[in-house]
Amino acid sequence: MKDAINKIKMLSVHKKVQLLTAAILTISVFTAIPVYAWFSNQHKAAEMYKVAYPNSLYINAAHREDRMYFGLDAVDVNDYVRGEDGIPVKDTNGNMIPITEKKYVFTVSGSNADKFILQVAHTNNNLFNYKIYEAKQYDYLEGEAPEGADSDKIVPAGTSDVNVIEYKTNPGGYTENPLVFASDPVNKTSEETKYYVIGNMINGKYLNNENNNKQIGADNLAANNDKYYTENYGENTNTEAHAVPSYWQAELSANPDANKQFCKYFVLRVTWNTTEQDANKKKETDMIYFSVLRTQ
């Protein structure tokens, strides 16, 4: 060993450099090979999946707001049409005009769906009449739009006031529906006013009550072994006839846009004290449920 060190010491600078280079190269060969060996022990395999565009359906209050803003506030069947001062308005004969209807806006929106079933289930305590209409949303009343506003955003001329429903948005009310529509954005910071114009009535059908919204004879349904009745109540016949729900359905086209999304507005029109209503039962509460189901 001493010999070797002495020999190295005696070498010329040139030779020393050569020796050092040789030594480094040798070491690098030894270190490089195990590294290569590690790489060569790894194999990879893979497969590729396509992600289906999500299909979603949302039922919301007007302007895709959270469901809690779909407020079916109290109906006073004995109230009259009132002016801005709160005093009932009189007709040409000097009679007060009874209120016989209320309208509520709701939204069905979704993605990757071509058709859906809109279902309404309601009890019949008050024997109200329920009808659903298509609605179109606008940003401005006629004559109130700023200059240059898109004509699509202005309530069309000649629309009867009766058919326009004004709705004030709730900026904090957009937490349920994540869909984004460039043509119909939501404002999460400040209140906006939207106007909904009633369109065509939806042609739906009562599944368990062909006479549309008349009192269902519970005994009758039970006796006929009506499938909706037995689903809910089984063999029991001692049910309160007005509490037996009526089921109404309509299948609608979604007509999605280029982004495979759609947003449709509807109006629920509740009427009473009209020829459409069988009788005024003057009960306290009715329940109404909405649901949507994608069919295509």
Q: How far is the CB of 118 from another protein (least distance, A)?
A: 21
Residues with Cβ within 8 Å of 30's Cβ and at least 6 positions away in sequence, in order, are none
Q: H or E segment at 265?
A: strand 261-271
Q: How far is the CB of 42 from another protein (least distance, A)?
A: 4
> Residue 25 or residue 279: which is nearer to another protein going by CB?
25
Instruction: State how far the Cα of 286 lies from the Cα of 72, in Å rounded to an integer.
Output: 11
How distant is the alpha carbon of residue 140 from its chain centre?
23
Q: What is the DSSP string of 131-157?
A: EEEEEEEESB-TTTSPTT--GGGBPPT
Instruction: State how far the Cα of 227 lies from the Cα of 187, in Å rounded to an integer.
Output: 45
> Residue 35 or residue 157: which is nearer to another protein going by CB?
35
Q: Do residues 124 and 242 make contact, with C-beta atoms less than 8 angstroms apart?
A: yes
Instruction: State how far the Cα of 130 lies from the Cα of 67, in Å rounded to an integer.
Output: 19
Q: Do residues 242 and 123 make contact, with C-beta atoms less than 8 angstroms apart?
A: yes
Instruction: State how far the Cα of 163 lies from the Cα of 156, in Å rounded to an integer.
Output: 11
> Residue 2 or residue 50: which is nearer to another protein going by CB?
50
Interface ranges with another protein (CB under 8 A)? 10, 26, 29-30, 33, 35-36, 39-56, 111, 176, 178, 258
Instruction: State how far the Cα of 275 lies from the Cα of 113, in Å rounded to an integer.
Output: 38
Q: How far is the CB of 19 from another protein (least distance, A)?
A: 13
> Residue 45 or residue 162: which is nearer to another protein going by CB?
45
Q: How far is the CB of 138 from another protein (least distance, A)?
A: 24
Q: How far is the CB of 263 from another protein (least distance, A)?
A: 15
> Residue 64 or residue 103: which is nearer to another protein going by CB?
64
Q: How far is the CB of 231 from another protein (least distance, A)?
A: 18
Instruction: State how far the Cα of 8 lies from the Cα of 152, in Å rounded to an integer.
Output: 93
> Residue 111 or residue 213: which is nearer to another protein going by CB?
111
